Structure 1
């Protein structure tokens, strides 16, 4: 362990446990190297040195250097810090028992994390997910039985309000950019549902991500099969005929907005032919509570049916649809073509 001794910064008269009496002592600072899960962090450590016997005495008022090393590790890895976890739990007036039950690990474990123990990678992911209002809303609904009726309803009201506020900035921009000219055969007789657009994208990208070309088709099939099932589209999006198949109109802006707000992230995938694809990955769990039962059945079906399709596979598949064959480049696609959809 490397140490760099600094000059004393303060003298004081204190009890020396070795001399068993009051002595003059110097406060000494040293930089110490601590290893945390294979990574080294330099942490300042202080102690007193008795001027009479030379004994080193712990500075009980200073932070524990190992706790400081854990803090630096959490900062580097983006882990949830103990105080942030405590503040989160207090914000929603959740007990350790309630939160740990929803997360699936013991209250003792959660208490240790709040008191400075270093969480595992898996538990940190669970904590980060739970701290998203939409994810916490789902956990609260799923674990209704652990709350009193009054507390459950208060949590729902608070989280619904927060989720609506979060959607507000995204929704306003997306709504402004997308076609919302009216309810018609081109919107699937549904008004534009921006919250469902966002959550459908998050859902489709939540496993191993989705290349943009494939994601556009997953949106198309979700809406058109949804329309066939319940005579209205899920999202209210307008679709157009483009060379790579049917796609939501003006949708690059939506992806850009979600990237900007860190709802999704993007990796570039390079292919041997020189083509560079964009793979979108969800940064949080989808809030499936925005969908009704029929819609959930549809989007699960679509994701499962096309899970092993490449972008080329699903593009070629969509080119066989009447919705594509009977429209021309850049032409709007009517949801009336949904009755001919092959993916069933």
Structure 2
């Protein structure tokens, strides 16, 4: 990025800053461009988003507020539109769409969204919603019943995910992503097909892919946790 004052290329500066979000303060590794001649610092769109993501990610973890990808996944598993989901939860449609777009819900709304993740609890919310069209209600209840049956049948897959990832919510160690076994498997297949690496190299490639994505966006790719070992992340 070039300086708007001198036209010269600016240097990238990274420094820890204390930033506030909804009265809470968090430490953020602030990224900016610095004009060496004037001392002025600037953010482009990518740096502004990266700095903001670092801030709100810490806020979400502190108050157990679901991330936008979790909110979308909850709605999609019930095959509902954003309008119908907001109606069942009792939110305004615009507000709910903003939550899916990255706006941080308040704590009471966040708890209700988390409650909806459980099919048993969501079925209660569906039945409590008196304004919901009967056809939509019946269809949603059938989907919920099917999900409950699938949970009984897919115990092994669930146990496998818990074996690898534990019952883990997005946090700093997962790169603020929900651990995703399918996405992780696709990463393994990609590197195996392209490079045919040994196990140690494969683990390093997975590590660098996740950490590079986190460095650039504030989010990892797979949500996998890594440990520092003598031979690297193996």
TM category (shorter chain) comes to: 0.5 to 0.7
Partner of 1:45: 30
| C-alpha deviation, 1:144, in angstroms | 7.6
SS at the partner of 1:33?
Answer: strand
Q: 2:19 aligns with which of 11, 25, 34?
A: 34
Contact 1:67 1:116 survives alignment (8 Å) = no
Show structure 1 runs of 5+ residues with no match: 1-13, 171-260, 262-344
Distance 2:154 2:40 in 1: 61
| C-alpha deviation, 1:47, in angstroms | 0.8
More helix, by proportion:
2
Question: CA separation of 1:119/1:145 partners in 2, compared to 1, >3 Å: closer, same or farther?
Answer: closer
Contact 1:27 1:46 survives alignment (8 Å) = yes
| C-alpha deviation, 1:153, in angstroms | 4.7
Contact 2:14 2:31 survives alignment (8 Å) = yes
Q: 2:43 aligns with which of 33, 58, 63?
A: 58
Contact 1:144 1:152 survives alignment (8 Å) = no
Contact 2:75 2:81 survives alignment (8 Å) = yes
More strand, by proportion:
1
SS at the partner of 1:24?
Answer: coil
SS at the partner of 2:70?
Answer: helix
Which protein has the larger Cα radius of gyration, Structure 1 or Structure 2?
1
Partner of 2:213: none
Contact 2:17 2:29 survives alignment (8 Å) = yes
SS at the partner of 2:20?
Answer: strand
Structure 1 residues 304-343: Cα deviation after superposition (integer angstroms, max 9, x where no partner): xxxxxxxxxxxxxxxxxxxxxxxxxxxxxxxxxxxxxxxx
| 2:87 corresponds to 1:101 | yes
Partner of 1:297: none
Q: How many residues of Structure 1 are paired with residues of Structure 2 in the alignment? A: 155
Contact 2:74 2:116 survives alignment (8 Å) = no
Partner of 1:273: none
TM-score by length of 2: 0.56
Partner of 1:257: none
| C-alpha deviation, 1:78, in angstroms | 1.6
Distance 1:81 1:120 in 2: 12
Map of 1:1-344 to 2, 5 A cutoff? 14-19=1-6, 21=7, 23-62=8-47, 63-143=49-129, 146-147=132-133, 149=135, 152-166=137-151
Q: Once superposed, what is the RMSD of the aligned Cα atoms?
A: 2.9
Show structure 2 runs of 5+ residues with no match: 156-166, 168-234
Structure 1 residues 270-315: Cα deviation after superposition (integer angstroms, max 9, x where no partner): xxxxxxxxxxxxxxxxxxxxxxxxxxxxxxxxxxxxxxxxxxxxxx
Contact 2:88 2:132 survives alignment (8 Å) = no
TM-score by length of 1: 0.39
Distance 1:71 1:26 in 2: 26
Partner of 2:181: none
Structure 1 residues 107-147: Cα deviation after superposition (integer angstroms, max 9, x where no partner): 12212322333322211121111121112223334448645
Contact 2:78 2:144 survives alignment (8 Å) = no
Contact 1:34 1:69 survives alignment (8 Å) = yes
Contact 1:24 1:51 survives alignment (8 Å) = no
Contact 1:47 1:56 survives alignment (8 Å) = yes
Structure 1 residues 253-273: Cα deviation after superposition (integer angstroms, max 9, x where no partner): xxxxxxxx9xxxxxxxxxxxx
